[in-house]
């Protein structure tokens, strides 16, 4: 695919990344500069009622659309205050990792304080630390 793109004149020879977690992840998942989706400023914290805009089509969703199974392992850090922002709703078939910054995937602990995720109507959707496994 990269060879075909190069033949068509699309040569990817420079990559500009965000300097922190959320901005760089937003760029990687959307293929767009983070200034285009509002994720350029800072990292998302567990109490923030925002995330990567839901109208952005993410890489795992695009891969799923063409027949790939998708799984994510690691740190999400792209929003979690509503279930629509979670990795499984953004194209991943399976997810194992933490939603926010700080934690250990191998020791299965989070350095963040426990928190509550609430639905748009204020109902509690989930409560605990930020390590999550879908199965």
Whether 77 is catalytic = yes
Whether 21 is catalytic = yes
pLDDT: which is higher, 89 or 135: 89
Average pLDDT of 89-105?
Answer: 81
pTM of the model: 0.68
Catalytic residue chosen out of the listed positions 45, 77, 105, 108: 77
Range with the lowest mean pLDDT among 4-8, 12-16, 66-70? 12-16
Asked whether residue 84 carries a pLDDT value surpassing 80, the answer given is yes
Question: Could you give the maximum distance between any two Cα atoms of the chain, in Å?
Answer: 52
H-helix or E-strand containing 133? strand 131-133
The tens digit of pLDDT for each residue in 20-71 reads 888 889 999 999 988 888 888 888 877 788 899 999 999 999 999 999 999 9
Backbone phi and psi for residue 115, each to the nearest 5 degrees, phi listed first: -150, 170
Quote the distance between the C-alpha of residue 42 and its chain's center. 14
Asked whether residue 112 carries a pLDDT value surpassing 60, the answer given is no
């Amino acid at each position: 695919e990269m060879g075909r793109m190069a033949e068509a004149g699309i040569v990817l020879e420079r990559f500009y990344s965000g300097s922190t977690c959320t901005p760089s992840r937003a760029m990687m998942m959307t293929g767009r500069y983070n200034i285009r989706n509002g994720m350029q400023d800072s990292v998302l914290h567990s109490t923030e009622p925002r995330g990567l805009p839901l109208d952005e089509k993410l890489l795992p969703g695009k891969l799923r659309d063409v027949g790939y199974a998708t799984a994510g392992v690691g740190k999400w850090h792209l929003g979690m205050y509503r279930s629509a922002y979670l990795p499984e709703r953004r194209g991943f078939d399976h997810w194992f990792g933490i939603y926010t910054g700080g934690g250990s995937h191998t020791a299965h602990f989070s350095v963040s304080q426990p928190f509550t995720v609430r639905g748009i109507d204020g109902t509690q959707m989930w409560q605990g630390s930020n390590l999550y496994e879908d199965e």
